[in-house]
Structure 1
Amino acid sequence: MSIREVTPEQARVRQATGSVLIDVREAHERAGGMAEGALGVAKADLLANAAQHLSSPDQEALLICQTGKRSADAALSLQQAGYSNIYSVSGGTAAWRVSGLPLVQPLLDADDRDFYDRYSRHLLLPQVGEAGQRRLQQARVLVLGAGGLGSPAAFYLAAAGVGHLRIADDDRVERSNLQRQIIHTEAALGTAKVASARQRMLALNPHIQVEAIAERVTSDNVDVLVQDVDVVLDGSDNFPLRYLLNDACIKHAKPLVYAAIERFDGQVSVFDAGRQRGVAPCYRCLFPEPPPPEFAPNCAEAGVLGVLPGLAGVMQATEVLKLLLDIGEPLVGRLLRFDALQMRFRETRISADPACPLCAPGLPFPGYIDYAAFCAHSP
């Protein structure tokens, strides 16, 4: 069965004589402009209930999409369903625009217009689409730390439209931070990092909520911070806090997106043992005990290439988005290491430890410990 096509100019003439013109693109695509007088009905909706939009099987209908392929596919499906007078507009809306024919903006409220414009590149991805972007809009993420890792991660999560970002850090902005903590500016020196971060995130995307917690995260407040979020992003720079976050995420069954950096090297992983006991490892499965301090200096002691936390933080943000959208293969059970000097990446498999004191199947949560003492006394 052949597909009958008309040019945009022919479609305009037929439209004036009574043919119905139907734009079969998705709503977010039509928001950028559609042929004047066209009826907006997504392809799937049209095919699911053609009788709602076509008065009879012999009504002449002209289908238009972006470039002509989708409308041709829809026209073929309708012909096979018994609709005998269906045409596809060759070249679609792109050709309509080039031909200088009139385009109109669909009537949208300000919030929808902003949504379709702001996230247009996400909406084009089949793995995201409008449903996925709305899912991000409803998501809640805890970013622990507004420093080297938290800065790029939080910035990109804000740009991506994660609806509620809770960022916790008790530090203040110093000039030495600006070389790598790109969410802060010279004007923010001396202010709380979370306040500085919140201001920049809302300047980038005023349609999200940013909860700034200017507190040190401890066993006393970690439950409140973790319990009502979907994902936890670890931007900490010390072992006691990493172990505390790991344990809290197991207790509350939250995925933990981890990263660590030093000098020119970094590593990223996702620990999801709280939701996948005995299958996914936790941080303690990888590091049962912290290394001695002399073997794990922080950035203030060892230095760090300024772009390195940006690389790791963006990887973390990517993993958070994958988890929220339930797409791709998160770094669960995999430790991704990279050497920025050689620009080499290496992946190591991590298995769940059946004897892990925190995440072994059936093991009740043992409670929080003195993490500073635990890390200080480890060999």
Structure 2
Amino acid sequence: MRSAGPAQARARQQAGALLIDLRADHERAQGCAEGALGIAREALEHEPARYLPDVDAEVWLICQRGMRSQAAALALAAQGYRNVGTVEGGTDAWQAAGLPMTKPDIDEDFAQRYSRQMRLPDVGLEGQQKLEAARVLLVGAGGLGSPAALYLAAAGVGTLRIADDDVVDLSNLQRQVLHAQARIGMPKVASAALTLSALNPRTRIEAVPERVTSANVERLLDGVDAVIDGADNFPLRYLLSDACVKQGKPLVYGAVHRFEGQASVFDAGRHRGVAPCYRCLFPQPPSPEDAPNCAEAGVLGVLPGVIGMLQATEAIKLLLDIGQPLRGRLLRFDALSMRFRETRLLPDPQCPVCAPNLAFPGYVDYEAFCAGGGQ
């Protein structure tokens, strides 16, 4: 294995050799050797042919201080690469030698705030920038919306549009962690904006103190990449589902009842005939007697935290297009037994809203629809 000081490596780079910075995105965000190609060590070692198709090409590896580049050079040599060298002292030595450095077009706050997340190969700098450009509609700033909003803002989602027409009440504070006792009587969206802006001032909060109805739902959906259902009633859930099918938006569903909760992703608007919508799961709404709300039935305070964080996780996966979303799957959680169960969901080929090649039937009177058991 060859090694060279920064000045010699720079000369070889200028002569045509490839210089690869093996550090993670968040490290390179602090500055890297000019002209270096950023490829995380793990990715290079896992798929070297993807980045280095010519095993005889001259390549120089640089990390922070030189240790990782030595290990990576040995790994590449074991895979047949014959012309790999390392930069002694790494980026620290390169910078100390006064050699030219470059920085990505991000600021110090961005680099440090999201450094742990950008370490993830599935996120990186590109994914974090994608999150910062994303817009999410959060319907409800209550039990489910609170944890979802907190973690989406902390993760770096650029814009959160929060719609809720309610005000903070003392009975909310047991589970709605966006709010505080000093804000009792304040509109929930205003309270949410205070908390989230204090957590991450980079996230833009669009506070909408309105009840979501058929008249404004499409305006609220305009321009967003994903929707989180933090509703606490069936008419609003059916409305959201229908609107998301029509507008082609993924809907991250969550619900809680006493000690149990459930979550899923309804994405029928973008995947007709493949992914189900909310109506495929619940063709007919339950009677009010069979499905009391939290005020009537009660709820364990931490339960919305669990489900809301699952919703935030699914939203982030959708925004980054990584992993396997809960599309076509219903995840149930029982807090008393501490068990998760998963049920497969299939699209209903006769669904009145999301069946393939079916024109949108229009919005209905959802209050009457649910009060009449779907009739």
User: How far is 1:109 from its partner?
Assistant: 9.4
Q: 1:339 aligns with which of 334, 343, 347?
A: 334
Percent identity of paired positions between Structure 1 and Structure 2: 58
Distance 1:134 1:33, change over 3 A: closer
Distance 1:187 1:255 in 2: 35
The answer (yes or no) to whether the contact 2:250–2:269 under 8 Å persists in 1 is yes
Distance 1:279 1:33 in 2: 45
Do residues 29 (structure 1) and 24 (structure 2) align? no
- Give 5+ residue unaligned stretches, structure 1: 6-10, 51-56
Q: Match of 2:68? A: 69
The answer (yes or no) to whether the contact 1:27–1:42 under 8 Å persists in 2 is no
Distance 1:31 1:39 in 2: 13
Q: 1:145 aligns with which of 130, 133, 140?
A: 140
Q: Match of 1:226? A: 221
SS in 1 for 2:353: coil
- Give 5+ residue unaligned stretches, structure 2: 12-18
The answer (yes or no) to whether the contact 2:73–2:86 under 8 Å persists in 1 is no
Distance 1:268 1:163 in 2: 24
Q: Which amino acid aligns with 2:132?
A: Q
Alignment of 1:69-148 (within 5 A): 69-70=68-69, 72-73=71-72, 86-87=85-86, 89=88, 112-148=107-143
Q: Match of 1:377? A: 372
| CA displacement, residues 239-265 of structure 1 (integer Å, 9 cap, x when unaligned) | 000000000001101110001101100
User: How far is 1:126 from its partner?
Assistant: 0.6
Distance 1:332 1:81, change over 3 A: closer
The TM-score, its normalising length taken from structure 1, stands at 0.83
SS in 1 for 2:107: helix
Q: Match of 2:267? A: 272
Q: 1:174 aligns with which of 162, 165, 169?
A: 169
Distance 1:110 1:133, change over 3 A: closer
User: How far is 1:358 from its partner?
Assistant: 0.4
Distance 1:193 1:164 in 2: 17
| CA displacement, residues 175-204 of structure 1 (integer Å, 9 cap, x when unaligned) | 111110001111211100000001111111
The answer (yes or no) to whether the contact 1:20–1:62 under 8 Å persists in 2 is no
Do residues 245 (structure 1) and 240 (structure 2) align? yes
The answer (yes or no) to whether the contact 1:26–1:41 under 8 Å persists in 2 is no
Distance 2:358 2:60 in 1: 64
Q: Match of 1:192? A: 187
Q: Match of 1:8? A: none
Distance 2:35 2:217 in 1: 48
The answer (yes or no) to whether the contact 2:66–2:87 under 8 Å persists in 1 is no
Q: Which amino acid aligns with 1:120?
A: S
C-alpha RMSD of the superposition: 3.4
User: How far is 1:208 from its partner?
Assistant: 1.6
SS in 1 for 2:186: coil
Q: Which amino acid aligns with 1:63?
A: I
Q: Match of 2:314? A: 319
The answer (yes or no) to whether the contact 2:25–2:124 under 8 Å persists in 1 is no
Q: Match of 2:211? A: 216
User: How far is 1:4 from its partner?
Assistant: 3.7
Distance 1:61 1:133, change over 3 A: closer
| CA displacement, residues 222-254 of structure 1 (integer Å, 9 cap, x when unaligned) | 010113211010000000000000000011011
Distance 1:61 1:271 in 2: 47
The TM-score, its normalising length taken from structure 2, stands at 0.83
Q: Match of 2:298? A: 303
User: How far is 1:344 from its partner?
Assistant: 0.6
| CA displacement, residues 330-354 of structure 1 (integer Å, 9 cap, x when unaligned) | 0011110010011011111111001
Q: Which amino acid aligns with 1:30?
A: R
| CA displacement, residues 75-103 of structure 1 (integer Å, 9 cap, x when unaligned) | 857xx88858x33548x67xx79xxx999
Distance 1:283 1:62 in 2: 51
User: How far is 1:31 from its partner?
Assistant: 4.3
Distance 1:375 1:198, change over 3 A: same
The answer (yes or no) to whether the contact 1:262–1:298 under 8 Å persists in 2 is yes
User: How far is 1:312 from its partner?
Assistant: 0.2
Distance 2:336 2:272 in 1: 37
User: How far is 1:116 from its partner?
Assistant: 0.8
Q: Which amino acid aligns with 1:237?
A: D
Distance 1:290 1:378 in 2: 5
SS in 1 for 2:279: helix
Distance 1:42 1:194, change over 3 A: same
Q: How many residues align?
A: 351
Distance 1:62 1:282, change over 3 A: closer
